[in-house]
Amino acid sequence: MKRTFITMLLGVCICLLGYAQEYQKTALGLTTTLAENTVEIKFYSNEIVRIIKYPKGNQYERESLSVILKPQPVTLKVTDGADALEIASKTLKVQLNKTEGTVRFYKSTGASLLSEKNTGIGFTPVKDNGKDTYAVYQAFNLDADEPIYGLGQHQRGNLNQRNQSYRLEQSNLDDVVPFFQSFKGYGVFWDNYAPTDFTDNAAETSFRSDVGDAIDYYVMYGGNADGVISQMRTLTGKAPLFPLWTYGFWQSKERYKSQYELIDVVKQYRKLGVPLDGIIQDWRYWGNNYLWNAMEFLNPGFPSPDQMVKEVHDLHAHLMISVWSSFGPMTKQYKELAAENMLLNFTTWPESGSEKWPPNPDYPSGVLVYDVYNPKARDIYWKYLNKGLFSLGIDGWWMDSTEPDHLQIKPEDYTNETYLGSFRKVRNAFPLMAVGGVYTHQRAITDDKRVFILTRSAFAGQQRFGANTWSGDTQASWETLRNQIPAGLNFSLSGIPYWNSDIGGFFLHHYRDALHNADYRELYTRWLEFGTFSPMMRSHGTDAPREIYQFGKKGDPIFDTQEKFIKLRYALLPYIYSCAYAITEYNSSMMRALFMDFPEDSKVWDNTEEYMFGKSLLIHPVTRSMYVKANDASNSVADFSKVQSQKTYLPEGTYWYDFWNNEKFEGGQTVERTTPLDIIPVYVKSGTILPIGPDVQYATEKSWDHLTLCVYPGMDGTFTLYEDEFDTYNYEQGAFSTIVFSWDDVHGKLTISKRKGDYQGMLTKRTFSIRLPNGKEKEIVYKGKKVTIKME
What CA–CA distance (Å, rounded) separates 406 from 347? 6
Residue boundaries of the structural domains of the chain:
2-141+186-221, 248-465, 473-685, 703-790
What is the C-alpha to C-alpha distance for residues 538 and 532, in angstroms, rounded to an integer? 9
Q: Does residue 15 register a pLDDT over 60?
A: no
Architecture field, domain 703-790: Sandwich (2.60)
Active site residue 314: no
Q: Can the peptide bond before residue 404 be classed as cis, meaning omega within 30 degrees of 0?
A: yes
200 catalytic residue (yes or no): no
pLDDT of residue 633: 54
Q: State the fold for domain 248-465.
A: TIM Barrel (3.20.20)
Helix, strand, coil share of the chain (percent; to 5): 25, 30, 45
pTM score, whole prediction: 0.96
Query: What is the pLDDT at residue 124?
Result: 98
Tell me the residue type at 643.
V
Handedness of CA 221, 222, 225, 227 (dihedral sign): negative
How does pLDDT run across 441-460, given as a tens digit for each residue?
A: 999 999 999 999 999 999 99
Q: Which of 133, 111, 326, 101 is nearest to 221 (CA)?
A: 111
pLDDT tens digit sequence for 745-783: 999 999 999 999 999 999 999 999 999 999 999 999 999
- Could you say which of 40, 116, 473, 658 is catalytic? 473
Catalytic residue among 400, 502, 547, 658: 400
- Could you confirm whether 652 is annotated as catalytic? no
- In 3D, which of 417, 413, 403, 521 has the Cα closest to residue 472? 403
Per DSSP, the three-state class of 651 is coil
Do 250 and 242 meet the contact criterion of CB atoms below 8 Å apart? no
Kind and range of the H or E element at 353?
none
* pLDDT level of residue 20 (50, 70, 90 thresholds): very low
Task: Quick: pLDDT tens for 399-425.
Answer: 999 999 999 999 999 999 999 999 999
CA–CA dist 644, 677 (Å, integer): 9
CA atoms of 157 and 623, how far apart (whole Å): 12
Question: CATH assignment of 473-685, given 3.30.465.10, 3.40.50.300, 3.20.20.80, 3.40.1280.10?
Answer: 3.20.20.80
Establish whether the linkage from the previous residue to 71 is cis, with ω within 30° of 0.
no
Distances (CA, A) of 540 to 272, 278, 316, 529, 696: 20, 12, 20, 14, 22
Catalytic residue among 210, 216, 395, 403: 403
Q: Which CATH superfamily is domain 2-141+186-221 in?
A: glycosyl hydrolase (family 31) (2.60.40.1760)
C-alpha atoms less than 13 angstroms from C-alpha of 495 in its C-beta half-sphere: 34
**540-578 confidence digits (pLDDT tens):** 999 999 999 999 999 999 999 999 999 999 999 999 999
Q: Do domains 248-465 and 473-685 have the same CATH topology?
A: yes
Q: What does the pLDDT look like over 340-379, one tens digit per residue?
A: 999 999 999 999 999 888 989 999 999 999 999 999 999 9
Backbone angles phi, psi at 189, to 5 degrees: -110, 115
